[in-house]
Protein backbone atom coordinates (compact mmCIF):
# COMPACT_ATOMS: atom_id res chain seq x y z
CA UNK A 1 0.00 0.00 0.00
CA UNK A 2 1.44 3.38 -1.02
CA UNK A 3 1.75 6.29 1.35
CA UNK A 4 2.05 10.01 0.63
CA UNK A 5 5.72 10.21 1.65
CA UNK A 6 6.76 7.42 -0.72
CA UNK A 7 4.93 9.09 -3.60
CA UNK A 8 6.52 12.48 -2.91
CA UNK A 9 10.01 11.00 -2.64
CA UNK A 10 9.66 9.10 -5.91
CA UNK A 11 8.91 12.35 -7.74
CA UNK A 12 11.74 14.15 -5.90
CA UNK A 13 14.11 11.41 -7.13
CA UNK A 14 13.43 12.70 -10.64
CA UNK A 15 13.82 16.33 -9.48
CA UNK A 16 10.08 17.00 -9.67
CA UNK A 17 7.82 18.52 -7.08
CA UNK A 18 4.27 17.14 -6.96
CA UNK A 19 0.96 18.89 -6.28
CA UNK A 20 -0.90 17.51 -3.19
CA UNK A 21 -3.98 16.80 -5.35
CA UNK A 22 -1.91 14.49 -7.54
CA UNK A 23 -0.66 12.65 -4.46
CA UNK A 24 -4.23 12.25 -3.25
CA UNK A 25 -5.36 10.96 -6.65
CA UNK A 26 -2.61 8.32 -6.69
CA UNK A 27 -3.50 7.25 -3.14
CA UNK A 28 -7.21 6.96 -3.98
CA UNK A 29 -6.50 4.82 -7.05
CA UNK A 30 -3.76 2.72 -5.38
CA UNK A 31 -1.95 2.04 -8.66
CA UNK A 32 1.84 1.90 -8.05
CA UNK A 33 2.63 1.95 -11.79
CA UNK A 34 0.61 5.15 -12.18
CA UNK A 35 3.55 7.11 -10.71
CA UNK A 36 5.87 5.88 -13.46
CA UNK A 37 3.30 6.61 -16.18
CA UNK A 38 2.93 10.17 -14.86
CA UNK A 39 6.69 10.72 -14.75
CA UNK A 40 6.98 9.46 -18.33
CA UNK A 41 4.33 11.94 -19.49
CA UNK A 42 5.80 15.03 -17.81
CA UNK A 43 7.50 17.48 -20.21
CA UNK A 44 11.26 17.97 -19.70
CA UNK A 45 10.86 21.62 -18.69
CA UNK A 46 8.25 20.91 -15.99
CA UNK A 47 9.10 21.60 -12.35
CA UNK A 48 5.81 20.76 -10.62
CA UNK A 49 3.63 17.74 -11.49
CA UNK A 50 0.01 18.87 -11.66
CA UNK A 51 -3.28 17.26 -12.66
CA UNK A 52 -2.74 18.00 -16.35
CA UNK A 53 0.19 15.58 -16.36
CA UNK A 54 -1.91 12.57 -15.31
CA UNK A 55 -2.66 10.44 -18.41
CA UNK A 56 -6.36 10.61 -19.29
CA UNK A 57 -7.11 13.20 -16.62
CA UNK A 58 -7.69 16.92 -16.80
CA UNK A 59 -8.35 19.41 -13.97
CA UNK A 60 -11.45 21.56 -13.60
CA UNK A 61 -11.16 25.30 -13.97
CA UNK A 62 -10.62 25.86 -10.26
CA UNK A 63 -8.03 23.06 -10.14
CA UNK A 64 -9.56 21.39 -7.09
CA UNK A 65 -11.04 18.30 -8.76
CA UNK A 66 -10.18 15.94 -11.57
CA UNK A 67 -12.25 15.00 -14.59
CA UNK A 68 -11.78 11.90 -16.68
CA UNK A 69 -11.47 12.41 -20.43
CA UNK A 70 -14.89 11.61 -21.93
CA UNK A 71 -15.46 7.87 -22.16
CA UNK A 72 -18.45 6.65 -24.20
CA UNK A 73 -19.35 3.06 -25.01
CA UNK A 74 -22.34 2.29 -27.23
CA UNK A 75 -23.78 -0.87 -25.70
CA UNK A 76 -26.83 -1.11 -27.98
CA UNK A 77 -27.95 1.06 -30.89
CA UNK A 78 -24.73 1.53 -32.83
CA UNK A 79 -24.94 2.13 -36.58
CA UNK A 80 -26.41 -0.73 -38.57
CA UNK A 81 -28.05 -2.68 -35.75
CA UNK A 82 -31.69 -1.67 -36.26
CA UNK A 83 -32.05 -3.95 -39.29
CA UNK A 84 -34.42 -3.80 -42.23
CA UNK A 85 -38.20 -4.06 -42.06
CA UNK A 86 -39.25 -7.52 -43.33
CA UNK A 87 -42.97 -7.00 -43.69
CA UNK A 88 -44.95 -9.33 -41.43
CA UNK A 89 -42.50 -12.24 -41.45
CA UNK A 90 -40.88 -11.38 -38.13
CA UNK A 91 -44.02 -10.53 -36.13
CA UNK A 92 -44.28 -13.98 -34.56
CA UNK A 93 -40.61 -13.96 -33.51
CA UNK A 94 -40.97 -10.40 -32.23
CA UNK A 95 -43.90 -11.11 -29.91
CA UNK A 96 -42.48 -14.43 -28.75
CA UNK A 97 -39.27 -12.66 -27.80
CA UNK A 98 -41.21 -9.96 -25.96
CA UNK A 99 -43.29 -12.52 -24.06
CA UNK A 100 -40.34 -14.76 -23.19
CA UNK A 101 -38.11 -12.00 -21.87
CA UNK A 102 -40.69 -9.94 -20.00
CA UNK A 103 -42.49 -13.05 -18.78
CA UNK A 104 -39.17 -14.36 -17.51
CA UNK A 105 -38.71 -11.22 -15.40
CA UNK A 106 -42.09 -11.85 -13.75
CA UNK A 107 -41.47 -15.59 -13.40
CA UNK A 108 -38.25 -14.94 -11.49
CA UNK A 109 -40.35 -13.40 -8.71
CA UNK A 110 -43.59 -15.35 -9.01
CA UNK A 111 -43.79 -18.95 -10.22
CA UNK A 112 -46.42 -19.49 -12.90
CA UNK A 113 -48.10 -22.20 -14.93
CA UNK A 114 -49.17 -22.34 -18.59
CA UNK A 115 -52.70 -21.15 -19.33
CA UNK A 116 -53.58 -24.42 -21.10
CA UNK A 117 -52.46 -26.45 -18.08
CA UNK A 118 -54.64 -24.34 -15.82
CA UNK A 119 -57.82 -24.50 -17.90
CA UNK A 120 -57.64 -28.18 -18.88
CA UNK A 121 -56.89 -29.63 -15.46
CA UNK A 122 -59.93 -29.54 -13.18
CA UNK A 123 -57.86 -29.93 -10.03
CA UNK A 124 -56.80 -26.28 -10.36
CA UNK A 125 -60.40 -25.02 -10.14
CA UNK A 126 -60.74 -22.67 -7.16
CA UNK A 127 -57.08 -23.24 -6.26
CA UNK A 128 -54.83 -20.17 -6.03
CA UNK A 129 -52.21 -20.02 -8.79
CA UNK A 130 -50.39 -17.60 -11.11
CA UNK A 131 -50.44 -17.20 -14.90
CA UNK A 132 -48.38 -14.94 -17.15
CA UNK A 133 -49.56 -13.59 -20.48
CA UNK A 134 -49.51 -10.79 -23.01
CA UNK A 135 -52.58 -8.57 -22.96
CA UNK A 136 -54.68 -9.13 -26.09
CA UNK A 137 -57.55 -6.85 -25.13
CA UNK A 138 -58.69 -4.92 -22.10
CA UNK A 139 -62.08 -3.34 -21.37
CA UNK A 140 -64.43 -2.23 -18.59
CA UNK A 141 -67.60 -4.13 -17.75
CA UNK A 142 -71.02 -2.55 -17.31
CA UNK A 143 -70.62 -3.06 -13.54
CA UNK A 144 -67.35 -1.11 -13.42
CA UNK A 145 -65.02 -4.10 -13.24
CA UNK A 146 -62.14 -4.60 -15.67
CA UNK A 147 -61.46 -7.59 -17.91
CA UNK A 148 -58.18 -8.31 -19.63
CA UNK A 149 -57.76 -11.18 -22.05
CA UNK A 150 -54.21 -12.52 -21.78
CA UNK A 151 -52.35 -14.98 -23.97
CA UNK A 152 -49.30 -17.19 -23.62
CA UNK A 153 -47.87 -19.76 -26.05
CA UNK A 154 -50.44 -22.36 -24.93
CA UNK A 155 -53.74 -20.49 -24.85
CA UNK A 156 -55.81 -17.48 -23.78
CA UNK A 157 -57.97 -16.67 -20.80
CA UNK A 158 -60.08 -13.69 -19.67
CA UNK A 159 -59.00 -12.23 -16.32
CA UNK A 160 -61.50 -10.33 -14.17
CA UNK A 161 -60.25 -7.53 -11.90
CA UNK A 162 -63.08 -6.71 -9.52
CA UNK A 163 -63.42 -3.09 -8.49
CA UNK A 164 -63.56 -4.06 -4.79
CA UNK A 165 -60.17 -5.82 -4.88
CA UNK A 166 -56.73 -4.24 -4.31
CA UNK A 167 -55.47 -5.23 -7.78
CA UNK A 168 -58.10 -3.07 -9.47
CA UNK A 169 -56.04 0.14 -9.15
CA UNK A 170 -53.19 -1.47 -11.08
CA UNK A 171 -55.62 -3.05 -13.55
CA UNK A 172 -56.98 0.36 -14.55
CA UNK A 173 -53.54 1.02 -16.06
CA UNK A 174 -53.34 -2.20 -18.08
CA UNK A 175 -52.71 -1.48 -21.75
CA UNK A 176 -52.77 -3.80 -24.78
CA UNK A 177 -49.62 -5.81 -25.58
CA UNK A 178 -47.93 -5.42 -22.20
CA UNK A 179 -46.89 -8.60 -20.39
CA UNK A 180 -48.40 -9.17 -16.97
CA UNK A 181 -48.63 -11.88 -14.34
CA UNK A 182 -51.84 -12.51 -12.41
CA UNK A 183 -52.32 -14.40 -9.17
CA UNK A 184 -55.82 -15.59 -8.36
CA UNK A 185 -58.31 -18.43 -8.85
CA UNK A 186 -60.01 -20.03 -11.82
CA UNK A 187 -63.81 -20.07 -11.88
CA UNK A 188 -65.59 -23.38 -11.28
CA UNK A 189 -66.40 -23.73 -14.99
CA UNK A 190 -62.81 -22.97 -16.00
CA UNK A 191 -63.76 -20.04 -18.25
CA UNK A 192 -62.75 -17.02 -16.13
CA UNK A 193 -59.78 -16.17 -13.93
CA UNK A 194 -60.47 -14.02 -10.85
CA UNK A 195 -57.46 -11.81 -10.15
CA UNK A 196 -56.17 -10.92 -6.68
CA UNK A 197 -52.64 -9.68 -7.44
CA UNK A 198 -51.19 -8.17 -10.63
CA UNK A 199 -47.47 -8.46 -11.41
CA UNK A 200 -45.47 -6.45 -13.93
CA UNK A 201 -41.86 -7.04 -15.01
CA UNK A 202 -40.97 -3.87 -13.06
CA UNK A 203 -37.72 -3.03 -11.26
CA UNK A 204 -36.71 -4.76 -8.05
CA UNK A 205 -37.35 -2.53 -5.07
CA UNK A 206 -33.73 -3.01 -3.94
CA UNK A 207 -32.23 -1.94 -7.27
CA UNK A 208 -28.94 -0.13 -6.66
CA UNK A 209 -27.74 2.07 -9.56
CA UNK A 210 -24.07 2.20 -10.53
CA UNK A 211 -22.22 5.47 -9.98
CA UNK A 212 -19.00 6.54 -11.64
CA UNK A 213 -15.87 6.19 -9.56
CA UNK A 214 -14.32 9.14 -11.38
CA UNK A 215 -15.62 12.72 -11.65
CA UNK A 216 -17.68 13.48 -14.74
CA UNK A 217 -20.83 15.38 -15.67
CA UNK A 218 -23.35 14.99 -18.46
CA UNK A 219 -25.92 17.38 -19.95
CA UNK A 220 -29.24 16.12 -21.32
CA UNK A 221 -31.41 17.86 -23.92
CA UNK A 222 -33.74 16.96 -26.81
CA UNK A 223 -36.00 18.43 -29.50
CA UNK A 224 -33.77 21.18 -30.89
CA UNK A 225 -35.88 21.61 -34.07
CA UNK A 226 -33.36 23.59 -36.11
CA UNK A 227 -35.08 25.13 -39.14
CA UNK A 228 -38.37 25.90 -37.41
CA UNK A 229 -39.48 29.53 -37.11
CA UNK A 230 -40.00 28.82 -33.40
CA UNK A 231 -36.42 27.59 -32.81
CA UNK A 232 -34.95 29.68 -29.97
CA UNK A 233 -31.59 30.65 -31.44
CA UNK A 234 -30.76 33.31 -28.84
CA UNK A 235 -31.43 30.87 -26.01
CA UNK A 236 -29.31 28.23 -27.73
CA UNK A 237 -26.40 30.64 -28.02
CA UNK A 238 -26.59 31.29 -24.27
CA UNK A 239 -26.52 27.54 -23.73
CA UNK A 240 -23.51 27.13 -26.03
CA UNK A 241 -21.61 29.86 -24.17
CA UNK A 242 -22.48 28.20 -20.85
CA UNK A 243 -21.13 24.85 -22.07
CA UNK A 244 -17.90 26.51 -23.19
CA UNK A 245 -17.37 27.90 -19.71
CA UNK A 246 -18.28 24.63 -17.95
CA UNK A 247 -16.48 21.42 -17.05
CA UNK A 248 -19.14 19.12 -18.54
CA UNK A 249 -17.83 16.10 -20.45
CA UNK A 250 -20.92 14.85 -22.26
CA UNK A 251 -23.93 16.23 -24.13
CA UNK A 252 -26.75 13.82 -24.98
CA UNK A 253 -29.46 14.83 -27.47
CA UNK A 254 -32.52 12.55 -27.62
CA UNK A 255 -33.89 13.24 -31.09
CA UNK A 256 -35.61 15.84 -33.28
CA UNK A 257 -32.37 17.62 -34.08
CA UNK A 258 -34.08 19.48 -36.93
CA UNK A 259 -37.69 20.31 -37.73
CA UNK A 260 -37.64 18.26 -40.92
CA UNK A 261 -39.62 18.64 -44.13
CA UNK A 262 -43.19 17.48 -44.74
CA UNK A 263 -43.66 16.13 -41.24
CA UNK A 264 -47.17 17.60 -40.99
CA UNK A 265 -49.51 19.49 -43.36
CA UNK A 266 -48.57 23.13 -43.86
CA UNK A 267 -45.17 22.78 -42.20
CA UNK A 268 -43.44 24.66 -45.02
CA UNK A 269 -45.06 27.92 -43.83
CA UNK A 270 -43.40 27.51 -40.41
CA UNK A 271 -39.83 26.90 -41.59
CA UNK A 272 -36.93 29.34 -41.78
CA UNK A 273 -34.80 26.68 -43.49
CA UNK A 274 -36.78 24.89 -46.17
CA UNK A 275 -34.04 22.52 -47.37
CA UNK A 276 -33.42 19.38 -45.28
CA UNK A 277 -29.68 19.29 -46.06
CA UNK A 278 -29.36 22.91 -44.98
CA UNK A 279 -31.18 22.16 -41.74
CA UNK A 280 -28.60 19.52 -40.85
CA UNK A 281 -25.75 21.79 -41.97
CA UNK A 282 -27.05 24.45 -39.57
CA UNK A 283 -27.25 21.89 -36.77
CA UNK A 284 -23.72 20.71 -37.59
CA UNK A 285 -22.43 24.28 -37.34
CA UNK A 286 -24.03 24.54 -33.88
CA UNK A 287 -22.27 21.33 -32.81
CA UNK A 288 -18.91 22.60 -34.13
CA UNK A 289 -19.29 25.69 -31.95
CA UNK A 290 -19.50 23.55 -28.81
CA UNK A 291 -16.34 22.54 -26.92
CA UNK A 292 -14.39 19.89 -28.82
CA UNK A 293 -13.38 18.29 -25.50
CA UNK A 294 -16.99 17.09 -25.04
CA UNK A 295 -18.51 13.91 -26.41
CA UNK A 296 -21.85 14.69 -28.08
CA UNK A 297 -24.16 11.67 -28.36
CA UNK A 298 -26.85 12.22 -31.00
CA UNK A 299 -29.98 10.09 -31.54
CA UNK A 300 -32.79 10.67 -34.07
CA UNK A 301 -36.47 11.39 -33.46
CA UNK A 302 -39.64 11.37 -35.53
CA UNK A 303 -38.80 14.75 -37.17
CA UNK A 304 -35.40 13.50 -38.35
CA UNK A 305 -34.57 12.12 -41.79
CA UNK A 306 -34.80 8.41 -40.93
CA UNK A 307 -37.65 5.92 -41.09
CA UNK A 308 -40.50 6.52 -38.66
CA UNK A 309 -40.62 2.91 -37.43
CA UNK A 310 -38.75 2.20 -34.20
CA UNK A 311 -36.00 1.30 -33.66
CA UNK A 312 -34.81 4.14 -35.89
CA UNK A 313 -31.38 3.88 -37.55
CA UNK A 314 -28.62 6.45 -37.14
CA UNK A 315 -28.74 9.54 -39.30
CA UNK A 316 -27.51 8.82 -42.87
CA UNK A 317 -23.97 9.90 -43.71
CA UNK A 318 -25.04 12.36 -46.41
CA UNK A 319 -26.69 14.51 -43.72
CA UNK A 320 -23.92 14.28 -41.10
CA UNK A 321 -20.74 14.91 -43.10
CA UNK A 322 -20.29 18.32 -41.50
CA UNK A 323 -20.78 17.04 -37.95
CA UNK A 324 -17.64 17.41 -35.79
CA UNK A 325 -15.59 14.32 -34.97
CA UNK A 326 -16.62 14.41 -31.30
CA UNK A 327 -20.23 13.55 -32.28
CA UNK A 328 -21.27 9.94 -31.61
CA UNK A 329 -24.24 8.89 -33.75
CA UNK A 330 -26.60 6.32 -32.25
CA UNK A 331 -29.98 4.81 -33.06
CA UNK A 332 -33.31 5.43 -31.31
CA UNK A 333 -33.36 3.82 -28.82
CA UNK A 334 -29.73 3.39 -27.77
CA UNK A 335 -27.97 2.32 -24.59
CA UNK A 336 -24.67 4.05 -23.89
CA UNK A 337 -22.21 3.95 -21.02
CA UNK A 338 -20.64 7.13 -19.69
CA UNK A 339 -17.80 6.13 -17.37
CA UNK A 340 -19.80 2.98 -16.64
CA UNK A 341 -23.10 4.80 -16.00
CA UNK A 342 -25.73 3.36 -18.35
CA UNK A 343 -27.99 5.83 -20.15
CA UNK A 344 -30.95 4.62 -22.21
CA UNK A 345 -31.78 7.23 -24.84
CA UNK A 346 -35.27 7.07 -26.33
CA UNK A 347 -36.96 9.91 -28.19
CA UNK A 348 -40.30 9.04 -26.61
CA UNK A 349 -42.91 8.92 -29.34
CA UNK A 350 -44.77 6.15 -27.49
CA UNK A 351 -45.70 8.67 -24.80
CA UNK A 352 -48.49 9.80 -27.17
CA UNK A 353 -49.99 6.29 -27.06
CA UNK A 354 -49.57 5.85 -23.32
CA UNK A 355 -51.27 9.15 -22.55
CA UNK A 356 -54.28 7.99 -24.56
CA UNK A 357 -54.43 4.61 -22.77
CA UNK A 358 -53.61 5.33 -19.12
CA UNK A 359 -56.19 7.13 -16.96
CA UNK A 360 -54.95 10.44 -15.56
CA UNK A 361 -51.89 10.59 -17.82
CA UNK A 362 -51.04 13.92 -19.45
CA UNK A 363 -48.30 15.68 -21.38
CA UNK A 364 -47.67 17.83 -18.31
CA UNK A 365 -46.30 14.81 -16.45
CA UNK A 366 -43.72 13.14 -18.67
CA UNK A 367 -41.96 11.89 -15.53
CA UNK A 368 -44.94 9.63 -14.81
CA UNK A 369 -44.81 8.25 -18.36
CA UNK A 370 -41.18 7.26 -17.85
CA UNK A 371 -42.17 5.45 -14.66
CA UNK A 372 -44.86 3.58 -16.59
CA UNK A 373 -42.23 2.47 -19.14
CA UNK A 374 -39.93 1.26 -16.37
CA UNK A 375 -42.71 -0.68 -14.61
CA UNK A 376 -43.48 -2.49 -17.86
CA UNK A 377 -39.75 -2.73 -18.74
CA UNK A 378 -40.69 -1.59 -22.24
CA UNK A 379 -40.34 1.71 -24.10
CA UNK A 380 -43.40 1.23 -26.32
CA UNK A 381 -45.64 -1.51 -24.91
CA UNK A 382 -48.76 -0.77 -27.00
CA UNK A 383 -48.33 -2.07 -30.56
CA UNK A 384 -50.03 -0.79 -33.73
CA UNK A 385 -50.99 2.68 -32.60
CA UNK A 386 -49.42 6.09 -33.31
CA UNK A 387 -45.93 4.74 -32.71
CA UNK A 388 -44.84 2.58 -35.68
CA UNK A 389 -42.67 -0.35 -34.59
CA UNK A 390 -40.47 -2.40 -36.92
CA UNK A 391 -40.99 -6.01 -35.86
CA UNK A 392 -37.79 -8.05 -35.93
CA UNK A 393 -36.65 -11.32 -34.42
CA UNK A 394 -35.88 -9.56 -31.12
CA UNK A 395 -37.69 -6.74 -29.39
CA UNK A 396 -35.18 -3.89 -29.17
CA UNK A 397 -37.58 -1.76 -27.13
CA UNK A 398 -37.41 -3.95 -24.02
CA UNK A 399 -35.64 -2.19 -21.15
CA UNK A 400 -32.94 -4.75 -20.39
CA UNK A 401 -30.43 -4.26 -18.91
CA UNK A 402 -31.66 -1.59 -16.56
CA UNK A 403 -30.08 1.82 -17.08
CA UNK A 404 -29.10 4.28 -14.39
CA UNK A 405 -30.69 7.06 -16.48
CA UNK A 406 -33.65 6.99 -18.89
CA UNK A 407 -33.43 9.98 -21.26
CA UNK A 408 -36.49 10.90 -23.34
CA UNK A 409 -37.91 13.84 -25.32
CA UNK A 410 -40.75 14.32 -27.82
CA UNK A 411 -43.35 15.95 -25.53
CA UNK A 412 -41.49 19.30 -25.21
CA UNK A 413 -42.31 19.47 -21.48
CA UNK A 414 -39.75 18.98 -18.73
CA UNK A 415 -40.15 15.94 -16.53
CA UNK A 416 -37.73 14.52 -13.96
CA UNK A 417 -38.39 11.47 -11.82
CA UNK A 418 -36.56 8.80 -9.88
CA UNK A 419 -38.17 5.38 -9.82
CA UNK A 420 -36.53 2.57 -7.86
CA UNK A 421 -33.06 3.96 -8.45
CA UNK A 422 -33.50 4.87 -12.13
CA UNK A 423 -33.36 8.58 -12.95
CA UNK A 424 -35.80 9.67 -15.66
CA UNK A 425 -35.05 12.89 -17.56
CA UNK A 426 -37.03 14.82 -20.15
CA UNK A 427 -35.48 18.27 -20.55
CA UNK A 428 -38.17 19.81 -22.77
CA UNK A 429 -37.30 21.56 -26.03
CA UNK A 430 -35.48 24.40 -27.80
CA UNK A 431 -38.62 25.45 -29.64
CA UNK A 432 -41.30 27.85 -28.41
CA UNK A 433 -44.98 26.98 -28.65
CA UNK A 434 -46.04 25.98 -32.16
CA UNK A 435 -49.42 26.69 -33.75
CA UNK A 436 -50.39 23.04 -33.36
CA UNK A 437 -49.41 23.02 -29.68
CA UNK A 438 -51.47 26.15 -29.12
CA UNK A 439 -54.49 24.45 -30.66
CA UNK A 440 -53.94 21.41 -28.42
CA UNK A 441 -53.33 23.57 -25.32
CA UNK A 442 -49.82 22.15 -24.92
CA UNK A 443 -47.49 24.54 -23.12
CA UNK A 444 -43.84 23.61 -23.71
CA UNK A 445 -41.00 24.29 -21.27
CA UNK A 446 -38.27 25.52 -23.64
CA UNK A 447 -34.58 26.37 -23.32
CA UNK A 448 -33.79 24.00 -20.46
CA UNK A 449 -30.88 21.64 -19.93
CA UNK A 450 -30.56 18.99 -17.22
CA UNK A 451 -27.07 18.28 -15.89
CA UNK A 452 -26.19 15.14 -13.94
CA UNK A 453 -23.11 14.44 -11.85
CA UNK A 454 -22.14 10.87 -12.77
CA UNK A 455 -20.74 10.23 -9.29
CA UNK A 456 -23.98 11.11 -7.50
CA UNK A 457 -26.68 10.84 -10.23
CA UNK A 458 -28.20 14.04 -8.86
CA UNK A 459 -29.88 16.14 -11.59
CA UNK A 460 -29.79 19.94 -11.82
CA UNK A 461 -31.88 22.02 -14.23
CA UNK A 462 -30.59 25.16 -15.94
CA UNK A 463 -32.70 27.66 -17.86
CA UNK A 464 -31.47 29.74 -20.82
CA UNK A 465 -34.72 31.52 -21.59
CA distance 148 to 9: 73
**Where do you find CATH 2.40.50.140 in the chain?**
91-199
Cis peptide leading into residue 351 (ω within 30°): no
Size of the chain in residues:
465
**Where do you find CATH 3.60.21.50 in the chain?**
72-85+206-463
Q: What is the pLDDT of residues 219-240, one digit of tens each?
A: 999 999 999 999 999 999 999 9
CA distance 216 to 246: 12
377 pLDDT tier (thresholds 50, 70, 90): very high
Looking at residues 174-178, what average pLDDT do you find?
A: 97
- Pick from 366, 330, 306, 363: nearest CA to 252: 330
Helix (H, G, I), strand (E, B) or coil at 346: coil
Predicted local distance difference test score (pLDDT) of residue 124:
65
CATH topology for 72-85+206-463 is Purple Acid Phosphatase; chain A, domain 2 (3.60.21)
What's the predicted TM-score (pTM) here? 0.85
Q: What is the pLDDT of residues 278-335, one digit of tens each?
A: 999 999 999 999 999 999 999 999 999 999 999 999 999 999 999 999 999 999 999 9
CATH topology for 91-199 is OB fold (Dihydrolipoamide Acetyltransferase, E2P) (2.40.50)
Whether the per-residue pLDDT at 64 is higher than 60: the answer is no
63 pLDDT tier (thresholds 50, 70, 90): very low
Predicted local distance difference test score (pLDDT) of residue 62:
47
Q: What does the mean pLDDT of the chain come to?
A: 91
Q: Can you name the residues that pair with 419 across neighbouring β-strands?
A: 422
Amino acid sequence: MLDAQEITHRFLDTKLMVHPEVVRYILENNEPDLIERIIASVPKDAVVVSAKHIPGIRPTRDGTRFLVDPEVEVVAGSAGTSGAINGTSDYLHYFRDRYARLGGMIRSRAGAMPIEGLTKNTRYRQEECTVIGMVVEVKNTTNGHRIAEIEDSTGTIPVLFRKDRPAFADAERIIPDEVIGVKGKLSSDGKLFFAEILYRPDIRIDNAPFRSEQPGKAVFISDVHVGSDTFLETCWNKFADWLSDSDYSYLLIAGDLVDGIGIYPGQETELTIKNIYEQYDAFAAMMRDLPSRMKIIVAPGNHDVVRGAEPQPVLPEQFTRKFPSNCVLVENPALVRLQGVRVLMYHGRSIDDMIGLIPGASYDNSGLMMEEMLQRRHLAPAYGRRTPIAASKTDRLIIDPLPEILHTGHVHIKGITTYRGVLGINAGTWQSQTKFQKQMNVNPTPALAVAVDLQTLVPETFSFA
